[in-house]
Structures are given as C-alpha cells and as structure tokens.
Structure 1
Amino acid sequence: MPSDTAVTLRPPARDRDGERRPGAATSIWRFRSYLLPYRWRFVVLVVVAVLGIGASILVPLVTRRVVDGPIANSDRPGLYALGAVAIAVGVGEALLMFIRRWIVSKATLGVETDIRTQLYAKLQRLPLAFHSRWASGQLLSRITSDLSVIRRFLGFGLVFLGVNILQIVVVVAILVHLYWPLGLVVVASTVPVTLVSLRTQKIYTKLSRAVQDQTGDVTSSVEEMAHSLRVIKSFGRADHVFGGFDRRSVRLHDTAVSRVRVQSTFWTFLDVIPSVTLIIVLALGALAVAQDRVTLGTLVAFTTLMMSLVWPVTSLGFLLSMTQDAMTAADRIAEVFDAENTIVDGTRELDDVRGELAFEDVSFRFPDASEDVLHHLDLRLAPGETVALVGATGSGKTIFTNLVARLWDVTGGRITLDGVDVRDLRLDRLRQLVATAFEDPVLFSMSARENVALGRPDATDEEILAAVEVAQAQFVHELPYGLDTRIGEQGMSLSGGQRQRLALARAVLARPAVLVLDDTLSALDIHTEALVEEALRRVLVGVTGIVVAHRASTVLLADRVALLQDGTITHVGTHTELLATVPAYRALLSAELDPEDELLEVAS
C-alpha cells in the first residue's frame, strides 16, 4: 500500500544564478540513448568530417610538391598533373561537405523530435504538484528553444569540436615535422588560448543559464497576456502588464548583452593569436629560407597549413560557447526528466464496478506546507448515491474532489473504490471510472465536438447530442458550423456559462462510475441551472456522485449533504436535517440567497 507520508519535489538541478547543485546533470552525455537509433548516421558523419579535414590538409602538401618540384624545375607536365590532383582533392572536399550536411540534418532532427516527444510525455505524467510550481513559459522554452540549442550542438558543435581539435593536433604535428623551430612557435601559441578558454568558461556558463531562464520568464509573460487578454482589457491594465513585460525584456537584454560581451572578447582574443603567430612565422620562415635551412615550398606549405588552423582555432570560441549553451539546455531539460512523479501508477484492474466510494481518515497537505488542508476526513458513499459537498470558500472542496481521481494524492488515510485503494488501481482505469467537471472549465483549441468527446473519442453522434442535451448546451447548434465549429484557445469565444455546459457534457459523455461536479453550475443563470439539474437527476441514477454546491436547488440533487468545515467533514445528513439542526449549514446557504425563497422558485 502506498505510504501516507507527504510528497516532496526534487529541487531544481541548478540555481537561477547558474550554479550547479549536487547530483545535477552536467553533460549532454545523459541523452546518449536518444542517439543510438541514429548511431550509424553519426559514425558516417564523423568519418566524412575527418575525410574532409584530411582533404584540406592534403592540399597544402600538394602545393609544397608543386613549388619544390614542377615550378622550381620548370616541369610543365608535372605541374598539370599535380594541379589536377589539387582540383580533384578540392572537389572531393566539397562533395564530402554536402554529404555531411545532408546526414547531420536528418540525424539531429530525428534526435530532437524523439527528445521532445519524451519530454511532452513526461510533462503529461507529472502530478499537479509539479505544474503548480513551474511557470508554463519555462516549460515551453525548454521544449522549444532549449531543444533547438541541443540539436544545433549535436549537428555541428559536437562533431566539429572533436574534429577541429583533431585537426589542430594533426596539423601542429605536421608543422613540427616540416620545420620544428616554427612548429614550436605554433605550439606555444596554443597556451594562452587554453588559459583564456578555461577562465571564460565559468562566467559564460552562468550568463548562459541566466539568459535561458529569463527567456522562459519572457515567454511566460507573453503566454499569460494571451490567456488573460479579456481581463487586462476590461480593467484597462494594458500599460501595467506591458510594464512587467518590459522589465523582464530589459533584464533579458542586459544579461544577453553581458554574455555577448564575454563571448566577443573571447573570440577577438582567438582572432588575434593566429594573426600574431602568422606574422612571427613569416618573419622567421623568410629568414630560414634566406639561410637555406628550409625550402620555399616547405615555407609555402607551412604557412598554408597554419592558415588552415585559423578557422579551427577561431571556431573554438564559438564551439565552446555552443557547448556551454547545450550543457545548460541539457541541464534545464534534465530538471523536467528528473522531476519525481509522486503519483505512482497502480497495477490493479477493477471489473464489475459498483461505485462504492469511501474516504477513510483522509488527510492532505500541499508539498512544503506546514499544515494539513484536510484532516481526519471520513465519508462513505453507497453505490449510486449522490452526496452534495457544502463548505465556505477556501474550505478545501476542490482539493477534496481532486483526490478521487488522484489529481493529488492523499498524504494520510486512504480513498477506496469498491474496497480497493485508488492508489492501487491503474491510473488510466481509475480516470475512466471517475469523471470530473471543474468550476473553471478547460477547453481546447479544437471543435466543440472534439471537446465534448475528449473522454470518449469513440462516442457516436447520438451519444454526443444526448450529452449536449443533458448539459443544456444546445447553443452549439447555433455556432457557424455547429458541433464542428472550432471554439478557439481556452474557449475564449464562449461565455463562462457556455464553457461550463460544454465541460459538463464532456463529463456526462464519459459514462463514469463516479461523477464529480466541482461547482460546475456556478456560471449558469437560475433557469438554465434548473434545466440542467432536472437532466442531471436522470443522469445520476445509478452513478455515484459528488456535487459541490452553494445553492439549495443544487443540494436537492443529492441524497445526502456533507458539510466541510475547518478541513474536515463535521456533519452529514439530508438537506432538511442539516437545515433544521446545523446553524453553520443554514448560514452558508443564506449567504447566497434565502433558501426558502429559492426552493419556492424551483418548485414553481
């Protein structure tokens, strides 16, 4: 049986200032499993890249033979032959570059798609405790921009970081072999490059992490604005919201400029070193040629090979920056993959469901909270019974309803369905048996039909229309394309009552064993509510129901009423019994309107 201890989330892999925490993923190497399906493409990619480097090294050596041979000896046929070899090598190098770019595009796009798919699946599995602590913009930036950073690194940075280092080592060895005094000058020039690279790495890593986190903050601002546009406009707070966005954007700009400053200084230094080294080599080489210690062809080959090092050395700054960006992106994505899934899937099935639901000494506490929201809560619902849950605002009614489908897990006691702890059931089976309609309905940017059939995609048109009738959502037939009308993101083209009715139709269509209505009728006018309630009376026959209610008319849907006070159920009974004997219950209903008047209105 699952433990009754409170759940906690693993801390982020990094602080916002970029400092790694113990146990954090420090390398993109952890994503190596995603490379395995494309390993042969990457092997071919490395081979082709190495062959391309070999071709670029071969050209200066052929040039040396041309200068010291055909040109020095006026051998025209030999000049033509070696010239043809040089042209063939150049064409081969260009062909290898085309093959490399074609292979890398297919491989890296495949890796990016695989990681994004797994990341999305992970986000779907993570509990509400995780999503309540993360801004959606931060998650969005990880699944888009951070993955793009990793793709670019895999397609270019990872390969050429290794290949360019190999080229530098091989070319320096050849230079030492051609003329060791000048070769030692080139070797000496690598020392300041190494020292500056090590010094710059830590500063750049912090700034890179800050830029990526602040990009997530800006993304969150844009997303919140898009979802809250109606509220912003209605209160005339556009300037206020823009000010917050502007502050985040300026902060991102300043951090990005600081990163560019560090990056530019490093790249400039890497540009200067080869130029200074080349001047020294040309001066010493010319002196060596004048003293017959080296041939002119050797000096030409030496300088040409050394010039071929300008790009590998200069690109080290770009490649190291790309590596740090990819490492930071990998750590940010790893934060999601490493997040603990506290809602553990059970293994039991449940057939022939009767719908007996029991809360046994249930307690609940939010992660990192010091006090329970619910405690010592006991309630038993017989199969087919409907219980109305009544309580003041903030008393924990929504959490109570969320516990049934394990959107949150209890931190004490247990909830059973037909005597089986819901934590022992398979999640997909449990959520087929329990359908919830929320007070704040969530609709998707799809057609009204698809929104209603979300829980039962195989439902027939007749079943969908029946659910629409129960929810009194006939307004869908007046939409431009009826049920096939796309209702826009978050259903913003509909009123609050219309959204609630579509969400209610979705819950009804699921045909659950347990139907949970979390104040689903709050946005309906009293006449529409009366029609919905009349239909629900028929739907709730044979279905175990929990109805969060504020009005006496809604309470009358239930067989019994449970009063939630101070985090626990204090009274259970019929509406008439509680109205006559419990002042707190009477006061809650009269806070909305006089219950006797409402009963008379419904009766009429």
Structure 2
Amino acid sequence: MRLLLRFLRPHKKLVAITLLVVLLDNTGTLLVPTMLANMVNTGIATGDFNHIVQGGALMLGASMLASGGAITGTYLAARLASNVARDIRDAIYERSLAFSNSDFERFGTGSMITRSLNDMNVVQQSIIATIQMVLPLPFLCIVGIFMACLIDWQMGMLLAAVTAVVMVIAVVTIVNAAPIFMRLQKLIDRMNVVLRESIIGVRVIRAFTKERHEERRLDEVFSDYASSAIKVNMMFAGVDAASFFLMNIAEVAVLWLGGNRVGAHAMEIASISAVLEYAMLILFYIMAAQMVALTLPRAKACLDRASEVVDLVPEIRDGADAACAAKGAAADARGNEAVAAFDHATFKFSDADEDTLHDLNFTCRRGQTTAIIGSTGSGKSTVAKLLLRFHDVTDGSVSFCDADVRAMTQESLRDRIAYVPQKAWLFSGTVASNLRFGNEGATEDEMRHALEVAQAGFVDELPDGLQARVAQGGTNFSGGQRQRLSIARALMKHADLYIFDDSFSALDFKTDAALRRALVDETRDAAVLIIAQRISTILHADQIVVLKDGVVVGLGTHEELMRDCAVYRAIADSQMKGGAGDDQR
C-alpha cells in the first residue's frame, strides 16, 4: 500500500476532486428517496399542486447532481487510475534499467513482463472500482441508515442489522479469497514463462519431436490456473447468491415492518418506499463492494510484486562522475594511453562457490587491439560485463581512463564504450532507427559509412535501403547480417573502447578478414577488445589474453603464445587441424 500512496501523492489534486465529485453523486442519490416520500405524503395526500411542482423540481436537481457526478466521477477515476498505473510501469522499467544481470535474474523476463502489463492492469481496474464502489460505501451506509432512522427508528434499526450481517459475510469471504488470488498471480507468471519458452523454442521442439511433451507441460500449467480460477468463481457465485437472497429478505422485512408501522400510525405509507430504496441502495453497494473487495487481495499482490522491483536496491550503483580526458585531436598525442585496465580483478557470482574470474591483470591501450580467447565457460564474456559495470568486481579493481569504474556514473562510463553483444539483437523498426541507437543525430552518409566498414553492403541491395523494415530481434535477417548490423550500430558511436563479444562468429572467413582490416582505420584512436572463439579472428591482435577457468594462463602476441602457452597452442592446433579437414572435404 505504501507504493500506491507514493504514486497517488503526485496526483493529490486529482484525488481530491474525484472524491468530491463521488461525494456529490452519492449525496444526490440519497436525497431522491426522501424527496419522493415527502412529495407523496404531503403534496399528493393534500392535493397541493405547488408542493408537487416544487418537490419535482428538487428531485430533478438531485437527479442531475447524481447523474452528473456519476459521469464525471467515472471519467476522473479512470484518468487517475491510468496515471497511477502509467507511473508505476515507468518506475518498474526505470528500475530494471539500473539492474545488474544478477538483479534481473531474481525476477526473470516472464515475471517482469507480467508485473509491468497484467499486474498493472489489475491495479488500474481495482483503483477505478474502489473509487466507484468501495469508498462511497461507509458514507452511504451511515447516511442511509441515519435518514431511515429520521423516518422511523425501528426501520433504521432493521436496516442497520441487515447491513451488519451482509458486511460480516463479505469480510469472511474476502479473507478466504486472498490466498487464492496470491496463487493466481504466481500461476500467471508461470504460464507466461512456459508460453514464452514454447513460442521462442518452437523450432527446437519440432526438431526433437517434443510437441506432445510441451502440450502436456502447458496443459499442466493451464490446469493449475483453471483450478484456482474455478475456486474463485465459485466463491464469487456464492457471494452473489447470498447477497441477492439477503436483499430479498431485507425487502420483505422492510415491507412487513413498514406495514405494521403504518398501521400503528407511526409512519406514513410513502415513507416505506423511501426506506426500501435506502435498503436496496445500501445492499447493492455492499454487494458491489464485496465483489470489488474480492479482487483487492489480487491487486495488493500485484502492488507487492511491483514494490519488490521498485524498492530493490540495485547491486550496481553510480559513483561520483570521473570524466575521461578529451578525445579528438589530442588522441594521437596520447599514443598508448591506457583506456581500460584490470588490476588483480576478481569476480564471483553471489550464488557461486568459486571465483568466475580470478586475479586478472592486463591493460587495453588506445590504438591497440586486445583479444581474449579461452574455452567455453572460461569467463570471457564476463570480462566485458565488468567493463560495462553489468557486474562489479568482488576484489581488485577495473579502471577506465585512469578512474575506477565504480567511481563513475554508469551513463558516463557506457557513453564512452561501444559494445557488440555476443547475441546480436536488433529492435523492431528500420535499419536506420537501429543504427541511430549509436548516434541519434547520425546523417545518412555516416550510416552508410558504418555499414561499409561493417561489411553490411547488403543493406544497399534491399528495396528500401536504410528504411528497410527490421522485425523484433532482427529475425528477418540471417545471423551474419544481424552481427554486421550490430557492429555497424557500435561503429556509429565515437567511443574510447570498442568491445566485440564473439561478434564475428557467424561471419565467413573472407568477411571476417575484410571487416577486421576495415576496423583498423576506423578504431585507430580507440582501444579495441575482441572476445573470440576462433584463432583466425585474433591472429594480428597486439596482445592476446588466454583464459582457463577464469584465470589468465597466457598473455602476449600470437607468436609468443604459440611458443610459451600450452593452452593457446592446444586451441590453435585443434582449430588448424579442423580447418585442414574442412579444406580436404
């Protein structure tokens, strides 16, 4: 609830106006029965036409007040709920941008989507329903019973007793419903995860003829959700039946007691209709409010889930900004300036028993290419993540332009690094819009130059060129084309450090060689870090770092490592033999 109050606070004026309009709506609604009874008891009974006209005019005014309040209140409640849900969604997204990989993995992609979309829709609808059905209930009950007591105290007491019984039933039902709604939200998360896996991995499922297995897995998840949903619906049905039963009992009781009170000349006959209207009005709102209240535990669960994200303190936090020295013309004078340096850097995941990387010592210098090679799982990609501060070292330090990366803001650090991830990812839009991720103000000539360096000439052959459509993830391009477009996007950025995380793996040897030759001139004023699996990609690097189980076991040029590093030599020999075999075939 603290999260909800926090996001309602910026809209306090809208909250106040909405509540005032709802109050006017309820006031007009409560005035009509008494006005009608008074008009019948006095105007019609005495034949006073002027009294009837005056009473009718007052009833019309009260009805217009109620109708206008209802329409305006509905609009204002919808606007308030939409604004609050939008703000919470924005907060969830902004917080997720600050998460490290470990932070994000605590929730998972499927859960984050559910929390941002489905959960916020539940919260939004609950806010609207609460304003319209739950908040007016205390006012309607108190004022309605009070006005019934003014007509006849026994009728007022009867109405109070019926209201109390219905309220007790509602509270008991809500308490029992809360755990089921909590379970429903977790099941929605699970459904989201399983569906995403089945849709994204459909080709693998078909390739291994696992369609029936996936059908059973989906059926199990859907059945669990259906079982809980049926319990909730049965509860709704029971509450609905009980409420209508009590409304009918209350109606009979009011007519019976009212008839006796009229016979005893304790009240007038038209007053029975007024009390009956108050009874139906109060009981209708109680019934509607308990229906809404049954969904409030689910809304609270959604808010709690959103709060888990918004209130999580990120593992990676900004330090005071330490600016890098100016680039541009002074770059040549700096020569081999150290851009990135690992000083006895060690890293271990929070849930791991051993270090992922241990005691790393090497430097990436301006104008030079540093390469990292090693077997799968040796920690190569983690090195790039440490430079980008997706993780922080657990011991030692990583510096960028002579400043510890932990003392820099994440924005200023990443603004000076161009990164091509291991899995090339493109965003839905156009080729141009993807390239402008690296430079928002890029001209068409600059984009074409980046594409030329990245060996992405195929873009010019597309019917729409730079305006060619890109599907989500770039699925309408081949793996090699996606990699080249990702490289071009990175080259749009004038950075101090270019990181290529196994970014040439989908390229043929000819394209790989042409791209590396073109990169030499393009990145001459920056440091380059290449993480690779293929020896051929890094043969001409100025220094090669060889990793084995997170430890540097070799550092030097290709020739030096072939002479002094057994691990590197084994990798080279295995790839050269594989290449020879390929040639023979």
**Deviation for aligned residue 1:155:** 2.5
Within 2, Cα distance between the matches of 1:212 and 1:325?
7
Quick check: 1:54 aligned with 2:54? no
| Per-residue Cα deviation, 1:45-91 (whole angstroms, up to 9, x for no partner) | 21221122111111111122123212322334433432333233223
CA gap of 1:289–1:518, structure 2 versus 1, over 3 A, is same
**Deviation for aligned residue 1:127:** 1.7
Quick check: 1:223 aligned with 2:196? yes
Alignment match, 2:330: none
CA gap of 1:110–1:175, structure 2 versus 1, over 3 A, is same
CA gap of 1:493–1:231, structure 2 versus 1, over 3 A, is farther
Within 1, Cα distance between the matches of 2:80 and 2:30?
27
Structure 1: tracts of 5 or more residues without a match:
1-26
Amino acid at match of 1:73: T
- Secondary structure of 2:382's counterpart equals helix
Match of 1:504 among 480, 483, 487: 487
Within 1, Cα distance between the matches of 2:118 and 2:446?
42
Match of 1:585 among 533, 556, 568: 568
Quick check: 1:518 aligned with 2:501? yes
Within 2, Cα distance between the matches of 1:426 and 1:414?
16
Within 1, Cα distance between the matches of 2:25 and 2:533?
75
Identity of aligned residues (%): 26
Alignment match, 1:24: none
Alignment match, 1:74: 47
Match of 2:326 among 339, 352, 368: 352
Task: Map 1:98-117 to 2 at 5 A.
Answer: 98-117=71-90
Task: Map 1:80-229 to 2 at 5 A.
Answer: 80-229=53-202
Within 2, Cα distance between the matches of 1:249 and 1:36?
39
Amino acid at match of 1:573: G
Amino acid at match of 1:191: A
Amino acid at match of 1:155: I
Q: Which moved more, 1:319-328 or 1:514-523?
A: 319-328
**Deviation for aligned residue 1:427:** 1.2
- Secondary structure of 1:137's counterpart equals helix
Q: Which moved more, 1:168-177 or 1:83-92?
A: 83-92
Match of 2:11 among 12, 24, 38: 38
Alignment match, 1:269: 242
Alignment match, 1:392: 375
Alignment match, 2:536: 553
- Secondary structure of 2:428's counterpart equals coil
Q: Which moved more, 1:225-234 or 1:467-476?
A: 225-234
Quick check: 1:420 aligned with 2:393? no
CA gap of 1:512–1:355, structure 2 versus 1, over 3 A, is farther
Match of 1:246 among 215, 219, 243: 219
Q: Which moved more, 1:219-228 or 1:563-572?
A: 219-228
Amino acid at match of 2:97: Q
Are the equivalent residues in 1 in contact too, given 2:258–2:272 (CA < 8 A)?
Answer: yes
Q: Which moved more, 1:584-593 or 1:442-451?
A: 584-593
- Secondary structure of 2:117's counterpart equals helix
Quick check: 1:339 aligned with 2:322? no
- Secondary structure of 2:228's counterpart equals helix
Within 2, Cα distance between the matches of 1:575 and 1:268?
81
Task: Map 1:355-366 to 2 at 5 A.
Answer: 355-366=338-349
CA gap of 1:128–1:335, structure 2 versus 1, over 3 A, is same
- Secondary structure of 1:572's counterpart equals strand
Are the equivalent residues in 2 in contact too, given 1:473–1:501 (CA < 8 A)?
Answer: yes
**Deviation for aligned residue 1:105:** 3.0
Are the equivalent residues in 2 in contact too, given 1:267–1:314 (CA < 8 A)?
Answer: yes
**Deviation for aligned residue 1:189:** 2.2
Are the equivalent residues in 1 in contact too, given 2:254–2:272 (CA < 8 A)?
Answer: no
Amino acid at match of 1:228: G
Alignment match, 2:548: 565
Within 1, Cα distance between the matches of 2:286 and 2:579?
86
Amino acid at match of 2:324: L
Within 2, Cα distance between the matches of 1:103 and 1:453?
39
Match of 2:517 among 521, 534, 541: 534
Amino acid at match of 1:491: G
Alignment match, 1:17: none
**Deviation for aligned residue 1:355:** 4.2
Are the equivalent residues in 1 in contact too, given 2:377–2:549 (CA < 8 A)?
Answer: no
| Per-residue Cα deviation, 1:210-233 (whole angstroms, up to 9, x for no partner) | 222222322333334443344445
| Per-residue Cα deviation, 1:498-536 (whole angstroms, up to 9, x for no partner) | 111111112222122111111111111112212122222
- Secondary structure of 2:529's counterpart equals strand
Task: Map 1:226-305 to 2 at 5 A.
Answer: 226-305=199-278
CA gap of 1:198–1:300, structure 2 versus 1, over 3 A, is closer
Within 2, Cα distance between the matches of 1:158 and 1:570?
66
- Secondary structure of 1:546's counterpart equals strand
Within 1, Cα distance between the matches of 2:559 and 2:494?
30
Match of 2:435 among 448, 452, 465: 452
TM-align CA RMSD: 2.3
Are the equivalent residues in 2 in contact too, given 1:355–1:543 (CA < 8 A)?
Answer: no
**Deviation for aligned residue 1:494:** 1.0
Within 1, Cα distance between the matches of 2:213 and 2:483?
30
Quick check: 1:465 aligned with 2:448? yes
Are the equivalent residues in 1 in contact too, given 2:371–2:543 (CA < 8 A)?
Answer: yes
**Deviation for aligned residue 1:559:** 0.8
Q: Which moved more, 1:302-311 or 1:195-204?
A: 195-204
Within 2, Cα distance between the matches of 1:432 and 1:89?
62
**Deviation for aligned residue 1:345:** 1.2
Within 1, Cα distance between the matches of 2:135 and 2:283?
16
Alignment match, 1:14: none
TM superposition score normalised by structure 2: 0.92
Quick check: 1:440 aligned with 2:433? no
Within 1, Cα distance between the matches of 2:4 and 2:371?
50
**Deviation for aligned residue 1:167:** 0.5
| Per-residue Cα deviation, 1:258-285 (whole angstroms, up to 9, x for no partner) | 1222232233323322322222222222
**Deviation for aligned residue 1:562:** 1.3
Are the equivalent residues in 2 in contact too, given 1:395–1:565 (CA < 8 A)?
Answer: yes
CA gap of 1:320–1:596, structure 2 versus 1, over 3 A, is closer
- Which of the pair has the greater relative contact order for Cα pairs under 8 Å at 6+ separation? 1
Within 2, Cα distance between the matches of 1:388 and 1:304?
82
**Deviation for aligned residue 1:474:** 1.0
Amino acid at match of 1:138: S
| Per-residue Cα deviation, 1:97-149 (whole angstroms, up to 9, x for no partner) | 22222333333323332322222222222222122232322211221222222
Are the equivalent residues in 2 in contact too, given 1:357–1:383 (CA < 8 A)?
Answer: no
Within 1, Cα distance between the matches of 2:455 and 2:205?
30
**Deviation for aligned residue 1:37:** 4.0
Quick check: 1:306 aligned with 2:279? yes
Quick check: 1:594 aligned with 2:577? yes
Amino acid at match of 1:351: A
Structure 2: tracts of 5 or more residues without a match:
328-336
CA gap of 1:136–1:234, structure 2 versus 1, over 3 A, is same
Within 2, Cα distance between the matches of 1:71 and 1:595?
106
Within 1, Cα distance between the matches of 2:41 and 2:302?
51
- Secondary structure of 2:314's counterpart equals coil
**Deviation for aligned residue 1:596:** 9.3
- Secondary structure of 1:311's counterpart equals helix
Are the equivalent residues in 1 in contact too, given 2:173–2:294 (CA < 8 A)?
Answer: no
Are the equivalent residues in 1 in contact too, given 2:174–2:290 (CA < 8 A)?
Answer: no
Match of 1:476 among 455, 459, 483: 459
